[in-house]
Amino acid sequence: MPYQNEFVLFWEHVKESVEKGQFAKLTMAKTIGKPNLRNIFVRPVYSDNDFKVLLKLRYRSRDTEDKEDELTLDEAFVVLKSHLKKHFSTVLLFSTAKDVTFKVNKKGIGSITENLPTFSEVIQAERDE
């Protein structure tokens, strides 16, 4: 599938932003169809000796409670990849250096575009209690 190779290239931008301490947020958007899952958000959790992300699944239905998990970057990659082309067609990386957008079109072809950064600083994730 053509989009998967392009998504791996997109993920290199994500890893680079983490390594440079510029990763602000990642969002999966543009749902395909009408799934109960509305968005997936990934926020940074920096610490002295490692980096994790807080992955939040936000649902449309008020009957379904949003879910949060603290994951490694590799674990987040697996989760996001499993939702691509199934529930979402767009993934947006927000870093303090640039915004990078990954899109999958209806033919299954992936594309990457870069824009000026939306965020000027990194804000740590906080768990909803």
pLDDT one-digit tens code per residue, 107-128: 999 999 999 999 888 777 765 5
When the pLDDT of each residue in the chain is averaged and rounded to a whole number, the result is 89
Q: 63-91 burial, b for 16+ CB within 10 Å, e for fewer?
A: eeeeebeebebeebbebbeebbbebbbeb
pTM of the predicted model over 0.85: yes
